[in-house]
Amino acid sequence: MQNLSVRSSGFTDSVIRRMTRVSLKYDAVNLSQGFPDMDPPQAILDRLAQIAPTGPHQYALTWGARNFREALAEKQRRFMGIDIDPEKEIVVTCGSTEAMMAAMLTVVNPGDKVIVFSPFYENYGADTILSGAEPIYVHLKPPDFNFDAELLEQAFRQNPKAIILCNPSNPSGKVFTREELELIADFAKKYDTYVITDEVYEHIVYAPYKHIYIASLPGMKERTISCSSLSKTYSITGWRLGYIIASERVIENARKVHDFLTVGAAAPLQEAVIPGLKFPDAYYDGLLAEYTHKRDLFLKGLSDIGLPYTEPQGAYYVLLDMSEFGVADDVRFCEELAESVGVGAVPGSSFFREPIHHIIRLHFAKKDETLYEALNRLAHIRTKIRKKSRCTKP
Ligand code: GLN
């Protein structure tokens, strides 16, 4: 038989999603794939129940139901501080996963270069391969995950078509400062580069850090393709509701890409989430307070156990330094962690371009009791993992 496509053979399955399967296999507390075990807001669930008998149950407009887009434009205008035309500047997608892929296919020709900060959310690897882009990696250096401005400009000098900006950043928890965003914006304008953002953690930014939308900086609305989703903001990761906000010119093409990829996002779910899009600021303050509490609880637990980590400024991930375990293969290490300790994690090598194998990622988007259970299990990590490795040594 003929070979399958080079495209589809050029990447592995998602390690993040694989670690969820590994966690299930060993009945581990799954802190790998980032999704909450908290319920969505009641108003959204009530609306979902209310529309079950009446619908909509058929296709929404391909680029999103009008009332959903109107509510979304209003909400994002409030937070982003820019005007958004719901008729011309939004396409509703199946999660930000599709938004990012559609954005890439909209701007990138095969062979075009795209700047990716490393560590990066693993989807961007597959996104570049599927769109035929050639990534130029720029290292974010732990523990602050700052970048070298000169190295970034060197990357821009290679004439990239786009830069992917995940802000707040997964997995590092970095929140880009205004100065950093201004520098990226200046380079983007100077070298005529699009900025494709992934801002799904826009409402999870811990004080004193602040989320700044790069699209809101002077001259950036035209060249920014803002991707985000409702998954994390309303705890509805399974609903697959995301979107692209960009200029009319970009959206015109992005709508076509989206149309032929998926036709559209689920119509009843678009309808059901509208009360959420209309929540007042108090909802977002409450969400942040909840995640701040979880972050503090979880980081304190890790400190008590003596596991070193870098403190996230935003999002709900924490990177842990596992060097004391002499990790050579972090994928194997995470499997062992799930099997012997009972906690699911993601190996750092699925995020870092650099040969880094001593880091793992955990997330804390879980009920307090789930986090306590994970911490109780992690408290035994040194006996479980050390003992096991000693046993297997000749
Ligand atoms: N963003 C989540 C993570 O990094 C997972 C998203 C997904 O699996 N689609 O774990």
pLDDT tens-digit series, residues 289-334: 999 999 999 999 999 999 999 999 999 999 999 999 999 899 999 9
User: Residues 117, 199: one domain?
Assistant: yes
Q: Is residue 271 in a domain? A: yes
Q: Is residue 392 in a domain? A: no
394 Cα: distance to centroid of ligand 1 (angstroms): 39
237 Cα: distance to centroid of ligand 1 (angstroms): 9
The Cβ-side half-sphere exposure at 195, using a 13 Å CA radius, reads 29
Tell whether ligand 1 has an atom less than 6 A from the beta carbon of residue 96.
no
pLDDT tens-digit series, residues 148-198: 999 999 999 999 999 999 999 999 999 999 999 999 999 999 999 999 999
> If you average pLDDT over residues 357-377, what whole number do you get?
97
Of 277, 299, 317, which residue is a domain's last?
Answer: 277
Tell whether ligand 1 has an atom less than 6 A from the beta carbon of residue 16.
yes
What are the C-alpha distances in Å from 109 to residues 33, 85, 129, 131? Answer: 31, 27, 11, 7
User: Residues 248, 286: one domain?
Assistant: no
Q: Which ligand 1 atom is the nearest neighbour of the CA of 170?
A: 4
Of 238, 257, 277, which residue is a domain's last?
Answer: 277
User: Residues 16, 92: one domain?
Assistant: no
> If you average pLDDT over residues 217-230, what whole number do you get?
98
Fill in the DSSP letter of residue 196.
E
Query: What pLDDT is recorded for position 350?
Result: 94
Q: Is residue 136 in a domain? A: yes
Query: For residue 211, what are the domain limits?
Result: 53-277
208 Cα: distance to centroid of ligand 1 (angstroms): 25
The Cβ-side half-sphere exposure at 323, using a 13 Å CA radius, reads 4
Query: What pLDDT is recorded for position 11?
Result: 87
The CATH number assigned to the domain holding 294 equals 3.90.1150.10
Which of 196, 160, 135, 133 is CA-nearest to residue 7?
133
User: Residues 90, 163: one domain?
Assistant: yes
User: Residues 223, 86: one domain?
Assistant: yes
Question: pLDDT confidence of 243, banded at 50, 70, 90?
Answer: very high
Cis peptide before 168 (omega within 30 of 0): yes
User: Residues 23, 96: one domain?
Assistant: no
The CATH number assigned to the domain holding 200 equals 3.40.640.10
Q: Is residue 76 in a domain? A: yes
- Total count of domains within the chain: 2
Query: What pLDDT is recorded for position 392?
Result: 42
